[in-house]
Amino acid sequence: MSFNPADSGDGILMYCSQNDEGLGDFAALVIKDRHVEFRFDIGSGIVTIKSPHPVQLGVWAHVTVNRDFKDAKLSVNGEPFVEGKSLGAARTMNLNTPLYIGGVDHRRIMINRNAGVDRSFRGCISELEVSSVSLDIMKSSIDAANIEDCSEPHPNQTIIHTTTTPASTQPPTTLYYPCSSNPCIHGQCQNLNDDYSCICEYGYAGRNCEKMQKQCEFLTPCRNGGTCTDLHDSYKCDCRLGYNGQNCEKLAEITYDVAFRGDGWLELDRSVMMHEEEREVFGLEISTNKSYGLIMWHGQTPNDLIPNDYIAVAVVDGYVEYQYNLGSGPAVIRITAQRVDDGERHRIILKRQRSDGSIELNGEHTESGISDGLQQILDARGNVYLGGLPDYAMTYGKYHDGFSGCIYTLEVQDSGAIDIGEKAIRGVNVSPCTRVRWIPSSLVFTDADADGFDAFVPPPPVNIIHPKPASNLAAYDMTMIELIDFLLVVTSKDIEEKNRICI
């Protein structure tokens, strides 16, 4: 990185950290007391490497920083490297925030107190290179504020201009000013010889400041309590239970079935699964075209992240997986004879008796397993979640992806099909699976968003744990016919006997 300070104060040249709260690992390149310092922490304590030579006001300087696991070194203007080493066993650095150059957005992030500086740098920064890759600072940025083009001289820089006016016989020329066309839609224009640059207003970016980067803040598009997240040139609404649509503007009533798209979850009251009976049976009917996704989780409360009892059903690498842990180690049972990520409907029956468990798929494939240890009882104190979780840390690192598809039926023991919406407490980004409508006079189905049709409410799904046998109408009809024939024969014989007696 090359930089040119405009004042003699402290300033942040570069900062990145593990989280926005100023805790955990971090790396910071700062100017402190007119010396360049590289400070970092990989979990074993703060390390500070300081250049011995002070930086000069208004003079460009080039700084190089290298870190190799626990070892780091710093050089300014080609001077010999100053080295430092982190103590302890940690070797890797966990950084999750964006890389900030010249300062940070104090409304979004707190600087780690061990960085030593929280003041933004004042001056020019150029020639940024990360991992041997040169970056265009402006084109690589996702957000910015209070920056200017360094091609214009700073007030602290003294530039002497010498002008000569030679005699000329050429006619005067018309100067071209690119900014005269006002190209910057949401920003200030600066002429740069035959080109221009735009200094964008807060929340805008792009060549002409035409891209709104803060759509959530400026548009507030999410309705009915939805949560907005800024994306690149767009936004996303996470809708609370009861609503869906791009802006959470549509009502979404959940009954027996529920649909997910990989970014949602539905929380049911724990009374749905009490785990009080010695023999447990659960039934699910699903469809998905994704190879990974958590279908159901019942474990501990969100605040209890110590590995403990749980039961889970998920799609893993395209196959259905059943896990449970009674406290002494998990049983992991997976059916690999048939994939379930084909978009078709699949019926899943899960059974557990003490530490023994089994999973049945479509009535055709069955696998069994057993959990470790002597524990026999499942003690899950949290609520039941379908389709995902508000925090996947609740799975103790076992699952990371939400379910994308439809859960048509949920059954527990002899409950029959459970009205999922009736048991729901909270949820995000959930919708009903059934969205067809119909014209009663013609029984023609049409699209759900068309107007003028009555909502089609499907009947409750058929039980899958204890299905009722279908009636054999052909056999029934045959029995009735045979019975009628028998009665006719008997009647005719009686008539003959009576006639004989009368004769």
Of the given ranges (42-51, 285-294, 310-319, 402-411), which has the lowest mean pLDDT? 42-51
What does the pLDDT read at residue 440?
36
482 confidence band (pLDDT: 50, 70, 90) = very low
* Residue range(s) of every CATH 2.10.25.10 domain in the chain: 216-251
pLDDT at 453: 35
Q: Which residues 6+ apart lie within 8 Å of 169 measured at CB? A: none
Q: Please give the pLDDT value at position 31.
A: 95
**Confidence band of 468 (pLDDT split at 50, 70, 90):** low
pLDDT band at 121 (very low <50, low <70, confident <90, very high): very high
pLDDT of res. 91: 82
pLDDT at 472 over 80: no
Q: For every residue of 404-467, which 3-state class applies, written as one string?
A: EEEEEEEEECCCCCCCHHHHEEEEECCECCCCCEEECCCCEEECCCCCCCEECCCCCCCCCCCC
Q: Is the pLDDT of residue 13 over 50?
A: yes
Q: What percent of the chain has pLDDT over 70?
A: 81
47 pLDDT higher than 90: yes
What's the pLDDT at 131? 77
- How far is residue 166's CA from residue 168's CA, in Å, rounded to a whole number? 6
Classify domain 216-251 at the CATH topology level: Laminin (2.10.25)
**CATH number listed for the domain at residues 257-432:** 2.60.120.200
Q: How far is CA 203 from CA 1, 218, 221, 304, 318, in A?
A: 26, 8, 16, 39, 41
Helix (H) / strand (E) element for 502: namely helix 473-502
Inform me whether the pLDDT recorded for 496 exceeds 60. no
Quick one: DSSP state of residue 69?
A: T
Under DSSP, is residue 491 helix (H, G, I), strand (E, B) or coil?
A: helix
Distance spanning both ends of the chain, measured CA to CA:
128
Residue type, 481: I
Confidence of residue 350 (pLDDT cuts 50, 70, 90): very high
Query: Concatenated DSSP letters for 172-200?
Result: PPPPP-GGGG---TTEEEEEETTEEEEEE
Percent of the chain, pLDDT > 90? 51
Instruction: State yes or no: pLDDT of 38 exceeds 90.
Output: yes
Residue 132's pLDDT band (cuts 50, 70, 90): confident
pLDDT band (50, 70, 90) for residue 78? confident
Residue 124 pLDDT exceeds 60: yes
According to the model, what pLDDT value does residue 32 have? 94
Q: What average pLDDT does range 284-303 have in this prediction?
A: 95
Residue 300 neighbours by CB distance under 10 Å = 19
How many other CB atoms sit within 10 Å of the CB of residue 480? 10
pLDDT at 448: 44
Q: Is pLDDT above 90 for 27?
A: yes
Residue 155 has pLDDT above 50, yes or no: no
Task: Please give the backbone phi and psi of residue 308, each rounded to the nearest 5 degrees, phi first.
Answer: -155, -165
pLDDT of residue 141: 77
Was domain 2-134 assigned CATH 3.30.70.270? Answer: no
Mean pLDDT of 491-495: 47
Residues 156-196: pLDDT tens digits?
443 333 333 444 455 554 556 788 878 898 888 988 877 88
- What pLDDT, on the 0 to 100 scale, is given for residue 282? 94
List the single range of 137-141, 151-155, 328-332 with lowest mean pLDDT: 151-155
* pLDDT at 360 > cutoff 50: yes
- Per the confidence metrics, is the pTM higher than 0.85? no
Task: Determine the pLDDT at residue 210.
Answer: 85
User: Measuring CA to CA, which residue among 154, 139, 144, 73 is closest to residue 105?
Assistant: 144
pLDDT category of residue 21 using cuts at 50, 70 and 90: confident
- Check: CB of residue 374 under 8 Å from CB of residue 258: no
Backbone Cα Rg of the chain: 35
With 70 as the cut, is the pLDDT of residue 59 above it? yes
Average pLDDT in the 458-481 region? 52
What residue spans in the chain does CATH classification 2.60.120.200 cover? Answer: 2-134, 257-432
pLDDT for position 284: 95
Q: What is the mean pLDDT of the chain?
A: 82
What is the pLDDT, as a whole number, of residue 134? 79
464 in Cβ contact with 285 (< 8 Å): yes
